[in-house]
Amino acid sequence: MWFSGPSFETPAEIRMARILGADAVGMSTVPEVILARFYGLRVAAASVITNYGAGMTGGELSHEETKDMAPIGGKRLATILKRMIGGGNDIE
């Protein structure tokens, strides 16, 4: 499910997303795909989840934690994509 950001979702928005069946929420993938399709591009999308939603862990959300997790998730996603396309050992 998409929320516009740039702020984190509220606990109420996370509860609503769960009730509506969302497994994850994000701020950027959906509008990027919409824009790409508008320009006639074919799209396959993958997102990196960098934090739990507000109210899910009992702690406060941190932009620093999100920034720290993004490169870790990016490396994991790159590994998955390399395996899917047959190796690609030269891809960084």
This prediction has a pTM of 0.68
- What are the tens digits of pLDDT across the range 2-61? 888 788 888 899 999 999 999 999 888 999 999 999 999 999 998 888 888 887 888 888
Average pLDDT of the chain, as a whole number? 88
| Assigned domain for 53 exists | yes
Q: How many domains does the chain have?
A: 1
Helix (H, G, I), strand (E, B) or coil at 8: coil
- 65 lies in a domain? yes
Residue 53 has a pLDDT of: 80
Q: Does residue 23 form part of some domain?
A: yes
Residue 91 lies in a domain: no
Which tokens is 18 given?
């769960």
Q: What angle do CA 9, 24, 30 make, to 5 degrees?
A: 80
Q: Output the CA angle 70-79-22, nearest 5 degrees.
A: 55
Q: Which of 9, 13, 32, 60 is catalytic?
A: 9
pLDDT value for 33: 95
- In this predicted structure, the answer to whether residue 92 has a pLDDT above a threshold of 60 is no
Is 5 within the bounds of a domain? Answer: no
Position 92 in a domain: no
Is 13 a catalytic site residue? no
Give the domain extent around 37: 11-84
